[in-house]
């Protein structure tokens, strides 16, 4: 039996999971990743801490599974996207902390690019809007602010990578500087039609082409890990950014199938097949995980603060001692008592794209309790996701398709039954939780398994997908529409000048 190892490097933790060929978890290990906040709106990670934690969890997962490296058919990598690392090719050491996807320091440059009229070009080539969320302005900031970085980059001495590239470099001890199409498509520098770095955009951002990694399909024989790391060389067969990996792990291989991941943020993706579809409702077009050279796309909407609002209840308000307590606290009241929370801690993402928005709590009365605020915090995750799916369905209908009829869900917060039921109620369609909610890691394992020959096709993978629970909508449609109207009013208050 060929087992598969997934390295799942996320925003708040590094995990490794061993799967059997049926997609069942054999063992896993996890380490929390410290967050670094140099100033308001800035978020960083220590790249060496990322690598050290990821390697430690891989070794621990193998040990817990009672397996050796030789039992692993292939490993796959999935990662927090857009997070940017620059490192020295000779020493393998980063020149600065990684700048995390949530970081907003690139916004002044983004505003300049918008004012100069570059948005249509960037949208047509990359499928993205101009936003500091993506890697391009993070690279530019590092080149402009780290002493000597630009000169070193021009001499070819530095390498850029999103976290997948950083892990590939470390796993192969510098033999491989590569990424996959999904991660490349999140940089604002990649032509998603031709699957290659765009020379015009690199020049526009003043980023040397010598920094950029080779781009490969998401399922490919990338190379092998160094024997000293895990005890024997292991084939690296899959790489995908976390959200495209989750779409793959949810077996959403056909146009019109959608999933939402409830993690630190929330990320809703709908597969559009080989069609590059431009949204008129504030969504992005992005590359889907590619098994072959043929291009595949997805529509995407991103919520910057999803499960992170629960962390804020725990660490900021000290309303709960552990994240798992939020459901019982929220359920101690029948509803949010008119309280609405817009958790725009780092601005609002799709479909609003309001980088200057800040969080608000409205509707507070003398009778408001911390339980009402907790419930409003949980509900804010569902409201933001509902706004995304409604925008996505409008785009699908405008393109001649049908609105999304079912939403597959995953990520840490999807185990919260109260949240999932409220999500189904707002959407008016079934919300389906799979038997394996670790679909981000599962997608990476499946991509690696295809490259290694463990699986023959995506049809074989689709047959492995199983539902654990379906949440059917119970709220009348007019009541759901009324609640969404209240949400949109709260968003307008959060974005008012």
Give yes or no for a contact between 189 and 202, defined as CB atoms under 8 angstroms apart: yes
**What confidence tier does 420 reach under pLDDT thresholds 50, 70, 90?**
very high
Would you say residue 382 lies in a domain?
no
CA distance linking residue 108 with residue 104, whole number of Å: 9
Most confident of 32-36, 99-103, 169-173, 356-360: 169-173
Share of the chain above pLDDT 70, in %: 100
- For 178-228, the pLDDT digits (tens) are 999 999 999 999 999 999 999 999 999 999 999 999 999 999 999 999 999
Q: Is residue 34 part of a domain?
A: yes
Q: Is the dihedral of CA 432, 435, 441, 444 positive or negative?
A: negative
* 154 within some domain: yes
Query: What is the arithmetic mean of pLDDT over 483-491?
Result: 93
76 or 360: whose pLDDT is higher? 76
With 80 as the cut, is the pLDDT of residue 401 above it?
A: no
pLDDT tens, position by position, 266-284: 889 999 888 888 888 888 8
Quick: pLDDT tens for 149-190: 999 999 999 999 999 999 999 999 999 999 999 999 999 999
Residue 17 belongs to some domain of the structure = yes
Indicate whether 304 belongs to any domain. no
As a whole number, mean pLDDT of residues 393-419 equals 86
| 447 closest CA partner among 197, 164, 162 | 164
The overall average pLDDT reported for the chain is: 92
CATH of the domain at 74: 3.30.420.40
Token pair recorded at residue 111 = 């505003």
Whether pLDDT at 20 is above 80? yes
3-state secondary structure of 249: helix
| Crossing angle of the two packed helices 308-315 and 370-398, in degrees rounded to 10 | 170
Average pLDDT over residues 398-403: 79
Model pLDDT, residue 497:
61
Report pTM.
0.88
For the cut 80, the answer to whether the pLDDT of residue 1 exceeds it is no
- In-domain check, residue 168: yes
Is residue 85 over pLDDT 90?
yes
User: Which residues are bridge partners to 17 per DSSP?
Assistant: 6, 28
- CA-based torsion, 436, 441, 443, 447: positive or negative: negative
Q: How many Cβ atoms are within 10 Å of 1's Cβ, its own excluded?
A: 9
Q: Is 344 contained in some domain?
A: no
CA nearest 390: which of 470, 495, 262, 299?
299
Mean pLDDT of 292-318: 87
**How far, in Å, CA of 330 to CA of 380, rounded?**
12
Q: How many domains does the chain have?
A: 1
Q: DSSP letter string over 426-492? A: HHTS-EEEES---HHHHHHHHHHHHHHTS-S-HHHHHTT--EEEEE---S-HHHHHHHHHHHHHHHH
Which residue's structure tokens are 């039954």?
A: 417
pLDDT band at 398 (very low <50, low <70, confident <90, very high): confident
Of the two residues 413 and 175, the one the predictor is more confident about is: 175
Please tell me the distance from the alpha carbon of residue 437 to that of residue 130, in angstroms, as a whole number. Answer: 32
Q: Which domain holds residue 195?
A: 3-243
Does 279 reside within a domain?
A: no
**Non-local CB neighbours of 111 within 8 Å, separated by 6+ positions:** none
Lowest mean pLDDT among 141-145, 290-294, 458-462: 290-294
User: What pLDDT was estimated at residue 95?
Assistant: 97
């Amino acid at each position: 039996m060929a087992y598969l190892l997934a390295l799942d490097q996320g925003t708040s933790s590094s995990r490794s999971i061993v799967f059997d060929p049926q997609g069942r978890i054999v063992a896993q290990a996890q380490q929390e990743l410290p967050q670094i906040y140099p100033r308001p709106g800035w978020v960083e990670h220590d790249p060496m801490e990322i690598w050290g934690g990821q390697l430690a969890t891989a070794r621990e997962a193998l040990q817990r599974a009672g397996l050796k490296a030789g039992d692993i058919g292939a490993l796959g990598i999935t990662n927090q996207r857009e997070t940017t690392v620059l490192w020295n090719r000779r020493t393998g050491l980063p020149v600065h902390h990684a700048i995390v996807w949530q970081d907003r320091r690139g916004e002044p440059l983004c505003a300049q690019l918008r004012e100069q009229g570059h948005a249509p070009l960037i949208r047509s080539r990359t499928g993205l809007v101009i936003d500091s969320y993506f890697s391009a302005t993070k690279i530019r900031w590092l080149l402009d602010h780290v002493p000597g970085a630009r000169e070193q980059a021009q001499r070819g001495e530095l390498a850029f990578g999103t976290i997948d590239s950083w892990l590939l470099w470390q796993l192969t001890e510098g033999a491989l500087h590569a990424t996959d199409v999904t991660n490349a498509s999140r940089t604002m520098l990649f032509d998603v039609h031709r699957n290659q770095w765009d020379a015009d955009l690199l020049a526009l951002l003043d980023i040397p082409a010598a920094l950029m990694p080779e781009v490969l399909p998401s399922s490919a024989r990338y190379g092998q890990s160094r024997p000293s790391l895990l005890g024997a060389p292991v084939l690296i067969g899959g790489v995908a950014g976390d959200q495209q990996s989750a779409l793959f792990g949810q077996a959403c291989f056909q146009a019109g199938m959608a999933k939402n991941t409830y993690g630190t943020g929330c990320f809703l993706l709908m597969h559009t097949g080989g069609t590059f579809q431009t949204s008129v409702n504030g969504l992005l077009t992005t590359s889907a995980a590619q098994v072959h050279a043929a291009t595949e796309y997805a529509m995407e909407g991103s919520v910057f603060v999803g499960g992170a609002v629960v962390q804020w209840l725990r660490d900021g308000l000290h309303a709960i001692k552990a994240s798992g307590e939020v459901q019982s606290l929220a359920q101690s009241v029948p509803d949010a008592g008119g309280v609405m929370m817009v958790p725009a801690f780092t601005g609002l993402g799709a479909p609003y794209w309001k980088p200057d928005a800040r969080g608000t709590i409205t509707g507070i009365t003398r009778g408001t309790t911390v339980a009402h605020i907790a419930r409003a915090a949980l509900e804010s995750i569902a409201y933001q996701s509902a706004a995304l799916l409604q925008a996505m369905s409008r785009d699908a209908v405008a393109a001649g398709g049908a609105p999304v009829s079912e939403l597959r869900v995953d990520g840490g917060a999807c185990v919260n039954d109260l949240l999932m039921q409220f999500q189904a109620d707002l959407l008016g369609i079934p919300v389906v939780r799979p038997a394996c909610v670790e679909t981000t890691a599962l997608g990476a394992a499946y991509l690696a398994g295809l490259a290694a020959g463990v699986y023959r096709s995506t049809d074989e993978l689709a047959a492995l997908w199983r539902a654990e629970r379906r949440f059917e909508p119970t709220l009348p449609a007019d009541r759901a529409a009324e609640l969404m109207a209240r949400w949109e009013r709260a968003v307008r208050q959060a974005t008012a000048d």
